[in-house]
Amino acid sequence: MAHKFSASIWKEDDGYVAQCIEIDIASQGDTEAEALANLREAVDLFFECAPPEEVTERYHPEIQVAQFEIAHG
């Protein structure tokens, strides 16, 4: 069964970090695409290897991502 996840990706030093918001797992890569691919692998391994209790504890599918705007300065 396929599940959809959300990722936050940002530049850090000479590479990129990608973080899965629903599970709080992160990975990195030299490019945004590489960081996201590495994150996919990390999340897949988490579900494959983590005990069910840890999956239940860390997986929060109810988290939603929204963007908003403010005026400042």
**CA separation for the pair 25, 46 (Å, rounded):** 9
Query: Does the pLDDT of residue 1 top 80, yes or no?
Result: no
Check pLDDT > 90 for residue 24: yes
Q: What is the pLDDT of residue 51?
A: 96
Tokens found for residue 66: 């929204």
Give residue limits of the domains in the chain: 7-58
Contacts with 42 (C-beta within 8 Å, 6 or more apart), sequence order: 20, 25, 26, 27
Report whether pLDDT(2) > 90: no
DSSP state of 11: E
∠55-58-61 over CA atoms, to 5°? 90
